[in-house]
């Protein structure tokens, strides 16, 4: 196993700094919420946070091409671009496709729901902050992932490896090193801050991460903090690290498919961990049926004009990769939906 590429380490550090700055500003603003008028006071404060998150998205998009080129170059991989990435196409939209301001109102609604249920004020405000903290960290991380994925497709990258950004949580530790094809999303979880390293199938094998090597690089205090005291002791005693982490995830209700259900048009919808990671809660799924396919869309930007007339909603990059037959098709769709300039 080789050490992480300098480009990937730098990208991870960039993500950490950007996320820390965004959450620090979010905390500063959240402390100014007036509990006698939660929604109204948060609406007054929201424009500043929108600027911060949008700036993080723009920064991620503007630096994605340089990161992708550097990461490939450090592996002696040469891949020309198909076009120029439009950074503004990735700004102002949450990773589930809705406008950012809609998602960022959720913490206020969480607080109001808690107050209505009789929760003490300090606890209700704390629940709102927990939701806001998760949303900010996830949206910044998703901005980097989305920008890097578009930049990768723009260079016809076919393989990615998931890279740790230590200090990382236990879930990241066991998932890091996973390889995936260009059109297959990595599994995610709340607080996930791993990044994707563009590579090839052969060269990517050199950068797979050993979870036990990461565990053993930590002090016992860090092991206990990240894997819990009992979990860390079990691993040191010889327990399988994957079994320990997955057992805790299931016990915490963090399974890939949870028991919460919604009904839409008479059909049960099971909510999964990816949705929780996007919204900071187990909220409504944001897929709609577009031309017979359940698709993540965004309401930001203009609808896409279809060749035969009419229009369709603008798709998120994740949905483009899910339906694309191959990279040629994906590149055409990214252009059609405004992510790559001709």
Report CA 115 to chain centroid distance, whole Å: 29
How far apart CA 228 and CA 286 sit, in angstroms, is 34
User: What is the DSSP-derived secondary structure letter of residue 302?
Assistant: P
Other C-beta atoms closer than 10 Å to the C-beta of 250 total 11
Select from 195, 206, 203 the least CA-distant residue to 149: 195
pLDDT at site 241: 85
User: Cβ distance 246 to 227 under 8 Å?
Assistant: no
User: Taking CA 54 as the corner, what is the angle to CA 49 and CA 59, rounded to the nearest 5 degrees?
Assistant: 130
CB 165 within 8 A of CB 193: yes
CA 261 to chain centre: 23
pTM for this structure? 0.70
Give the burial string for 69-90 (b: 16+ CB within 10 Å, else e).
bbbbeebeeebeebeebbbebb
Sequence spans of domains, the chain: 6-156, 212-251, 257-341
Q: What is the pLDDT of residue 2?
A: 59
Distance in angstroms (rounded) separating the CA atoms of residues 133 and 145: 18
Q: What's the CA gap between 126 and 36, in Å, rounded? A: 15
Helices (H), the chain: 6-30, 38-73, 100-104, 106-116, 121-154, 170-175, 201-204, 211-216, 220-227, 229-236, 241-251, 273-279, 317-323, 327-336
Per-residue pLDDT of the chain (342 residues), as tens digits, is: 556 789 988 998 999 999 999 999 999 999 999 999 999 999 999 999 999 999 999 999 999 999 999 999 999 999 888 888 899 999 999 988 889 999 999 999 999 999 999 999 999 999 999 999 999 999 998 899 899 999 999 999 988 888 777 777 888 888 877 778 777 766 666 666 677 889 888 887 776 778 888 899 999 999 999 888 878 887 888 778 887 787 666 443 333 333 333 223 333 333 343 333 334 443 333 455 555 566 655 555 566 666 666 667 777 777 777 888 888 888 888 888 777 775
């Amino acid at each position: 196993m080789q050490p992480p590429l300098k480009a990937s380490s730098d990208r991870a550090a960039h993500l950490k700094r950007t996320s820390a700055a965004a959450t620090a500003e979010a905390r500063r603003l959240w402390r100014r919420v007036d509990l006698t008028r939660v929604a109204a006071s948060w609406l007054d404060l929201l424009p500043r946070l929108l600027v911060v998150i949008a700036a993080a998205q723009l920064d991620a998009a503007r630096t994605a091409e340089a990161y992708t080129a550097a990461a490939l170059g450090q592996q002696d991989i040469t891949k020309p671009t198909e076009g120029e990435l439009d950074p503004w196409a990735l700004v102002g939209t949450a990773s589930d496709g809705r406008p950012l301001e809609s998602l960022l109102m959720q913490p206020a609604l969480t607080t109001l729901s808690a107050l209505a249920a009789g929760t003490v004020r300090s606890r209700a405000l704390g629940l709102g902050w927990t939701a806001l903290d998760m949303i900010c960290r996830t949206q910044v991380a998703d901005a980097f992932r989305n920008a890097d994925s578009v930049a990768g497709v723009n260079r016809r990258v076919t393989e990615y490896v998931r890279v740790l950004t230590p200090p990382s949580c236990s879930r990241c530790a066991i998932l890091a090193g996973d390889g995936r094809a260009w059109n297959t999303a990595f599994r995610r979880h709340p607080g996930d801050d791993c990044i994707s390293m563009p590579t090839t199938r052969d060269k990517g094998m050199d950068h797979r991460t050993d979870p036990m090597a990461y565990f053993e690089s930590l002090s016992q205090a860090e092991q206990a903090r990240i894997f819990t005291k009992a979990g860390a002791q079990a691993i040191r005693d010889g327990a399988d690290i994957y079994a320990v982490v997955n057992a805790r995830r299931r016990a915490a209700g963090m399974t890939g498919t949870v028991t919460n259900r919604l009904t839409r048009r008479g059909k049960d919808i099971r909510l999964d961990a990816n949705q929780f990671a996007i919204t900071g809660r187990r909220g409504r799924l944001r897929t709609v049926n577009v031309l017979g396919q359940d698709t993540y869309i965004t309401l930001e930007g203009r609808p896409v004009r279809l060749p035969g007339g009419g229009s369709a909603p603008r798709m998120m990059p994740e949905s483009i990769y899910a339906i694309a037959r191959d990279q040629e098709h994906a590149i055409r769709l990214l252009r059609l939906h405004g992510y790559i300039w001709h």
